[in-house]
């Protein structure tokens, strides 16, 4: 009987709750108001010919490389950051290699790395979710071939300092160090400028979050040109679809739109953190477009009560170290106002009789 590889059989199934997402979507860290109107205009102008042909990535790749200030030979457009992670794993990992990830973090590192047969070593963060750099360094071995770091991290919103990233990069010259900057726009610090000079550094960015293009599946993987030549060998020449390629230059050109959205998200994040504090709910300060809050034993009921009132949030209580935690994405100002009103109501409704929030 046909059997999948052992490494694949050992993978845990991952089914994010994508079904029936009606309401204000504060559950997947997406843009909540949509992409730039320029992108929608471009979509309306698409001609059949653009769909009939195989997509041609190169010219758009050059425009995107110039936007990010990197050598086009050191940058690849990808089918979202997910594909960038997959390509790194396919390029560098063999069965028996070691991969270091600090948990809780984004699930796809463990899945793609595990599928190669590499051994994924998970290192827990402290209770404050700060990055355990010393612990990570102590786990380096001659077999370490990949270190994946979400910066800011999902689901915690915590960040790793530039000096710690440098320490890791220097200490592991034979490992690919992937800095996943999916939430860069809400944070502002990046390692993108260093990719040319550090041969083991890779930086991933996405257009799924601030740019509002999660459905188009488009991201960027940047690295040293020699390394990226290897990564290109395992990538399909048609990995990014024609619609995404047609829209991306317009999305990048409308930086006013991104600035406005990001500014509202940052204000909203502060408002939400203040509100959680006022409601006496523990939370971890975030540099991304979401906040992780500790709801406690009633996390299930909380998520349900929010949903009943039209707001979707994500239960993260099964993530390591996140017992009782719920992640709440932040959107535009009016949505934050609505979120806060509903949050107050739900906390009041779930409080034990006689208690005041
Ligand atoms: C840290 C991190 N990286 C990558 C992704 C996925 O990005 P993309 O939609 O570009 O595949 C996510 C999505 O939630 C994320 O949180």
78 has which bridge partners? Answer: 219
CA of 81 from ligand 1 middle (Å) equals 6
What does the alpha-carbon distance between residue 52 and residue 308 come to, in Å, rounded to a whole number?
A: 44
- pLDDT the model gives residue 228: 98
Q: Is the CB of 208 under 6 A from ligand 1?
A: yes
Task: Name the closest-CA residue to atom 3, ligand 1.
Answer: 182
Residues of the chain where predicted confidence (pLDDT) is lower than 70 = 353-357
- Closest approach atom of ligand 1 to CA 155: 16
For the chain, first and last CA: distance in Å?
A: 59
3-class SS shares of the chain: helix, strand, coil, % to 5: 45, 15, 40
What does the alpha-carbon distance between residue 54 and residue 349 come to, in Å, rounded to a whole number?
A: 54
Q: Is the CB of 212 under 6 A from ligand 1?
A: no
Q: Is the CB of 204 under 6 A from ligand 1?
A: no
Torsion, Cα 336 340 341 342, to 10 degrees, reads 100
Q: Is the CB of 29 under 6 A from ligand 1?
A: yes
CA of 355 from ligand 1 middle (Å) equals 39
Q: Is the CB of 154 under 6 A from ligand 1?
A: yes
Q: Count of CB atoms within 10 A of residue 155's CB?
A: 25
CA of 154 from ligand 1 middle (Å) equals 9
Q: Is the CB of 152 under 6 A from ligand 1?
A: no
CA of 351 from ligand 1 middle (Å) equals 34
Q: Is the CB of 107 under 6 A from ligand 1?
A: no
- pLDDT the model gives residue 122: 98
The residue to mutate among 82, 103, 105, having the most atoms of ligand 1 within 8 angstroms of its beta carbon, is: 82
- Listed in sequence order, the DSSP H helices in 238-298 are 242-253, 255-278
Contact 354, 348 (CB under 8 A): no
């Amino acid at each position: 009987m046909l059997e999948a590889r052992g490494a694949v059989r050992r993978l845990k199934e991952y089914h994010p709750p994508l079904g029936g997402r009606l309401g204000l979507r504060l559950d997947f860290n997406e843009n909540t108001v949509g992409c730039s109107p320029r992108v929608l205009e471009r979509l309306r102008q698409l001609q059949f010919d653009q769909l009939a042909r195989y997509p041609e990535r190169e010219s758009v790749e050059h425009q995107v490389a110039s936007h990010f200030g990197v050598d086009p030979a050191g940058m690849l457009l990808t089918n979202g950051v997910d594909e960038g992670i997959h390509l790194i794993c396919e390029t560098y990992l063999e069965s028996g290699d070691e991969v270091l990830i600090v948990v809780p973090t984004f699930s796809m590192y463990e899945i793609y790395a595990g599928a190669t047969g590499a051994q994924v070593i998970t290192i827990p963060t402290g209770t404050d979710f700060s990055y355990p750099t010393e612990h990570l360094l102590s786990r380096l071995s001659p077999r370490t071939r990949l270190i994946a770091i979400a910066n800011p991290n999902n689901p915690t919103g915590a960040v790793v300092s530039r000096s710690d990233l440098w320490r890791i990069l220097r200490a592991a010259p034979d490992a690919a160090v992937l800095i996943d900057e999916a939430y860069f726009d809400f944070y502002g610090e990046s390692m993108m400028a260093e990719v040319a000079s550090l041969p083991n550094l890779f930086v991933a960015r996405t257009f799924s979050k601030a740019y509002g293009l999660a459905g188009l599946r488009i991201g960027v993987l940047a690295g040293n040109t020699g390394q990226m030549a290897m990564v290109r060998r395992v990538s399909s020449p048609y990995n990014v679809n024609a619609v995404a390629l047609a829209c991306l230059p317009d999305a990048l050109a409308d930086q006013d739109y991104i600035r406005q959205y990001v500014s509202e998200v940052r204000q909203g994040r502060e408002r939400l953190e203040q509100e959680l504090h006022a409601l006496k709910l523990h939370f971890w300060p975030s540099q991304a477009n979401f906040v992780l809050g500790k709801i406690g034993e009633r996390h299930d009921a909380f998520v349900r009560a929010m949903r009943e009132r039209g707001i979707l949030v994500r239960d993260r209580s099964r993530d390591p170290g996140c017992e009782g935690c719920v992640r709440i994405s932040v959107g535009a100002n009016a949505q934050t106002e609505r979120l806060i009103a509903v949050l107050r109501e739900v906390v009041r409704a779930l409080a034990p009789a006689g208690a005041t929030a």
